[in-house]
Amino acid sequence: MRAALDVLSAVLLLTGAGFCVLTAVGVLRFPDPVCRLHAAAKAQTLGVLLILGGTAFQVSARHIVSLALVAVFQLATVPVVGQVVGRTAYRTGAVHRDALVTDELRARLAEGERGG
């Protein structure tokens, strides 16, 4: 039984580490902040959750609550940070606006500037 848990843990840890490496490559290689945010938010979150899952099989039961709290914190903060960083990048002109398929934020910001 312990060997099966060790194998499952190893698979989860290695898969999570792979997603984290892919995140790093995506952040380095993608051309603009919107693409980089996508890599950082999606793949990194999945990688961290897989690593936490693999770690849960190797630690005692009293540490699993801590791992679950880390997972919840990760799931709660990543979307908020992504939204703030994305909006900041858009407002500072770092986003290639002509490459966007739909630009809903442009109308909202123009509406806010008019005072409406």
Give the Å distances, CA to CA, from 12 to 22, 42, 59, 74. Answer: 15, 17, 14, 17
Task: Give the range among 28-37, 78-87, 97-106 with minimum mean pLDDT.
Answer: 97-106
- Percentage above 90 pLDDT, the chain: 59
CA distance 114 to 75: 36
pTM, entire model: 0.82
User: What is the number of helices (H) and of strands (E) in the chain?
Assistant: 5, 0
More confident residue, 51 or 35: 51
- Whether 103 has a pLDDT exceeding 60, the answer reads yes
Give the Å distances, CA to CA, from 93 to 32, 35, 50, 89, 90. Answer: 11, 15, 35, 6, 5
50's enclosing H/E stretch is helix 44-56
Strands (E), the chain: none
Reported as a pLDDT band with limits 50, 70 and 90, residue 115 is low
